[in-house]
Structure formats: C-alpha cells, structure tokens
Chain A
Amino acid sequence: MASPLIVEHLIKEYGALRAVDDVSFTLEPGEVFGLLGPNGAGKTSIISTIVTLERPTAGSVRVFGHDVTREPRAAKVAIGFVPQELVNHGFFDVSEVLSFHSGYYGLAHNREREDYLLERLGLWEHRHKKVKQLSGGMKRRLLIAKALVHRPRLLLLDEPTAGVDVALRESLWEFTRELRSEGLTVLLTTHYLQEAEELCDRVGVIHQGRLKQIGDTQSLIASLTHRQVCVQLKEARLPLSHPLLTRQQGCWLEFQLPYNQNLGSLLLEAGLELSALNDLRITEGTLEEVFRLVVGGKV
C-alpha cells in the first residue's frame, strides 16, 4: 500500500515570508502523527498545502500515491480535514450541512453514517439548530463530523481540541484512538503537549518553518531528556562526587539519569545501598521538555 502521506522538500512562501522551509516527512499507515510547534511555526501552512487550499511553492505532497497538485480529486477523496478556524454556515442546520458535505464526496445517501457521527459526537440533539446557534465546542465537533462523513483514510486535524473542555477533549482523544484502531491514519497539531505525548505514535517538531526533530514519541523523549532521580537519605553525608549528580542539599541528592542507564546501577555506583534511603522520587522526561529544547535551539 502506498504511504498515506509523503511530504517531500515542501516549501511554502507567502510573498517574502518563507512559512514552510524544506520540510519532508512520511506517515505510516494507521499511525497518529503529531505536528508540534509554536504559533506561526508553519503547521497550518503544511496542512493547507496537503488539502490544496494553498499551492506549494516547491516540493511535493502525495496522498496514497496521488500527487495533490496533479491528481487533486483522487487525493481529496482519501482525506478528511478539520480546519483550525471554526466555520459558520449561514443558512443551514447541522444535519443539512453534514449531508451536503457527504454529497460533495459523492455520497448522496449516507444517512446512517451521518446519524452515527452526530450521535457519536454528541450533536444529535442539536441537529436541527443552525450552525451559528452552536457553541464553539459544538462547532468544533461538527467540523470533525464533516471530516469523517465520507470515511477518509487520512485524517488531518488542525488543533481539534482548541477551545474544547477537558471532558470533551478526553472523549475526542478516545475517539481518535478508536479511529486509529480501525486503520485510519491521523495527522494532528496541538498545543497540548501532554496529550500529544499520550496519543501520538510519532511527532515532528517544527520551528520557523523547519522540521527540527522527528521520531517516535517515546524515543525522542528518551534520547533528548533525562529522568530526574531525587534520593532522600536517612542521614546527611559528606559531599558526594558523581558525574550524574546535579545537586546535593542536606539529605537530598538529585541526579539526572539518561534513559539508557538504569536506576540500580546508579545507586550502586554512587554507593547508595537501599537501607540508607529514606525516600525516592523519579520524574520522567516529557514531550514538553523535548519541545522546549528543540524550540530553544538547544538540540
């Protein structure tokens, strides 16, 4: 099977501004990929070129083997897209909007799927409301329903959880996992890094238009961050010297432990037998740390 998405040497310029600068990456079937980056990094610009809202200045984008500029319709059939900005639909109510959208994808009688999505996304009781009468979170869910109505194979979510409350956010991530288990490939952007860490199989960090890091979420955390190990001794000791020791104060010792080293050997090396310990705290590295390091130019 052709890759769900191949972005190759993509450049997007708006006048003199280079918003996307030579970005390449590939999505594997059935994965959730997070595109992370600060405001203005170029995430939306990348997604916009995938869905043909913007033309690439250079480079290429292929969706399941179809070049989006040369065979746009074949590519578009496979894509579901949730834009970052909320959308109104002047005259129509929720169920009309959804069924028109289904029709644009060539599915005129898709009632079952439409009703399922309205139900699943908690819009069923609002289906006769005009879109402008919905709250922000409901509009966001309608966007998601629209994106899924034609059963896409690649889902692009541009900040799907912006302005969405905690409970709903969790249920959206749950839904995303469910979709992945059905074989859907997902590309998402979000500023909630903790959620990205839980949800994304792989992430790419983009900064000022350049893809700075890409990789398996857990491996990135492991290779770029440390575990912080704090040991409380039963009684204070003389100053200890150990390469991984970062702080010593009273009974407390603080170590930065690389992921390729284990706790047992650290304690052994530092001469800290278990019977001497009063307490032990371990703080794992996070995607947020990775993000800060990458965006701060420290890796």
Chain B
Amino acid sequence: MTPHLRWTPFWVLFRREIKRYLKVLVQTIFAPMISSTLYLLIFGVSLGSQVTVPGGISYLAFLIPGLVMMSCLNNCFQNSSSSIVSAKFAGDLEDLKVAPLSHTQMLWAFAFGGLTRGLTVGTITFLVGELFFYLTTDQWLGIAHPGWLLFFLTLGGLTFAKIGVSVAFWAESVDQLSAVSSFVLLPLLYLGGVFFSVENLHPLWKSVSHANPLLYLINGVRYGILGQADVAVGTAALVAVLALGLFHLLGLWSLRRGPYGRW
C-alpha cells in the first residue's frame, strides 16, 4: 500500500478533531448552547424592550447575529486550543511532530475541526434565536445575505481556530490559556458590538472601537443576517481576509517553532 501524504494526514487529523469534540458533546455543544440561550433570554427577550438600536429593528434581532458570531468564534478557539492543550497533558502532541504531517496540514486540520464545531454551535444559537424571535414577534427572522453570512462565519471561525492553535502552543499552563481567552478575546468580542451598536457610543469611543478587528467580523455577520450593520461590508470583508492571513502565518510559525513536549 502506498502512502498518500498529500491529503490523508490532513483528512485524518481533521476527522480526529471532530471525533474528539463529539466524544464530549455535553461540554462542547450543549454547554455553549445553554449559555447562548441564557443570553438571548436575559438580554434579548427581557431587557430588549428597553433598548433601542439604529435602523428601526428590535434589539432581539440586533442581538441574534452578534451572539451567533460570538458563539461560533468562541467555540472555534476552544476546540483547537483545548485539543492541543489536552494533547500536551497526554503526551501525544509529539505524535504529530514525529509523523510526516506538514505544518500547513496540521494548521488547516485544526482550523476546519474548530470551524465545524463553531458552525454547529453558531447554527444552534441562530435556531434558538429564531425561536425566541418567533415567540415575541410572531414572525421568523430572515437571512438577508446567506453568502456573506457564511463568508464571515467561515473566515472568522478559521481565524479564531488558528489563534487557538498559536495560543495553545505557546501557553505554558491552562491558566495562561484562559488568561488570553478572558483578558484579550472576551473583551474584544464584547467591545466589538455583540451587545450594542457602536453608533450609540460617544464619538471618541466610537473611533476607538473601529480599531477592534472583531467589530468588523461581528458586523459582517450582522450584515449577512439583517442586511444592515455599523460598518461597510466591503471593509469588513477586507479585515476578515487580512485577519485570516495574519493568524495563518502566526499559526504556521507556532507549529514550526512551538514546543510539542508534554507538560
């Protein structure tokens, strides 16, 4: 039997990534689903009536795209980073280094593995949001631009999975990993307009917000679902492509130079 080094290693690692999170479905799918449901319930349904957002849409409709993107990005990051960190604990991360997997294959396998989970949780969040939307307004929330929606979810998700790869490679403990997640990613997500429109902010904060790349990713998804957003879709698309390129390079560098040894 001749080995197929071009696709098989990538494909096998990708499938392993999916199998891994399916084995711990409770933590990987149900827990994020419950937190999305809580957000929708508390912010969207109960507080939503007192909040106004530009464009004449309900706050719940405004919130749904933000939450879809947030849960997608979070889960992409979680999937690749926890896969790598647990492999460092077990000692089997070295297997990947010793086998003839290229860094590019590894990076894409982790990225698509994460993306699969991110899209699953994102879709579930959207469906739960739809349900709440229907219950409060008696109509379904449509998707204005499905192509753009998929574009931003995919590029954003791949980017976050690759960030997860880099952070997990360089982290020296689980604490460091969660520090990055709660001191960097979470604030950027929250300040990137998941819960509010930057149009409502003081001009100074508004311009500061425009330096946050997540503003573009989140508003890209918002444009995809609602057909309107705080930033132009072209700009958002450009930021998404640049972010993916940048973190792809960072991911490759991490896989090349990062430690594979066990903790």
Contact = CB atoms under 8 A, between A and B. Distances in A.
Contact of B8 (A72, A106, A146): A106
B24 A104 contact: no
Nearest to A76: B100
Interface residues of B, number: 32
B76 to A, nearest CB: 19
B86 interface: yes
Interface string B222-263: 000000000000000000000000000000000000001110
B86 to A, nearest CB: 5
A53 B95 contact: no
Nearest to A99: B12
B53 interface: no
Contact of B11 (A88, A90, A103): A103
A85 B23 contact: no
Interface string B85-107: 01101111011111111100000
A177 to B, nearest CB: 25
Contacts of B211: none
B3 interface: yes
Interface in A36-79: 51-53, 72-74, 76-77, 79
Interface residues of A, number: 33
B90 A108 contact: no
A107 B8 contact: yes
Contact of B98 (A52, A88, A89, A106): A52
Nearest to A50: B98
Given A91-B23, A107-B8, A150-B3, A76 B99 contact: yes
Contacts of B99: 76, 101, 104-105
Contacts of A74: 100
B100 A77 contact: yes
Nearest to A100: B16
Contacts of B9: 103-106
Nearest to B86: A90
Interface string B1-13: 1011100110111
Given A104-B9, A107-B8, A88 B91 contact: yes
Nearest to A110: B1
B210 interface: no
B206 interface: no
Contacts of B89: 88, 90
Interface string A223-266: 00000000000000000000000000000000000000000000
A276 interface: no
Given A90-B90, A91-B20, A104 B100 contact: yes
A104 B4 CA distance: 10
A107 B3 contact: yes
A55 to B, nearest CB: 10
Contacts of B23: 91-92
Nearest to B24: A91
Interface in A138-158: 146, 150
A64 B22 CA distance: 40
Interface in B127-156: none
Given A81-B98, A87-B91, A91-B24, A104 B13 contact: yes
A104 B94 contact: no
A53 B98 contact: yes
Contact of A104 (B1, B12, B86, B261): B12
A146 B95 contact: yes
A106 B86 contact: no
B98 A76 contact: yes
Contacts of B12: 100, 103-104, 108
Contacts of A103: 8-9, 11-13
Given A51-B98, A83-B91, A96-B19, 12 more contacts: A73-B5, A77-B100, A87-B95, A91-B23, A92-B16, A92-B20, A97-B92, A101-B95, A104-B12, A104-B96, A105-B100, A106-B8
Closest A-B pairs by Cβ, 8 of them: A103-B12, A106-B3, A104-B99, A88-B90, A76-B100, A87-B91, A73-B100, A106-B5
Interface of A: 51-53, 72-74, 76-77, 79, 81, 83, 85-92, 96-97, 100-101, 103-110, 146, 150
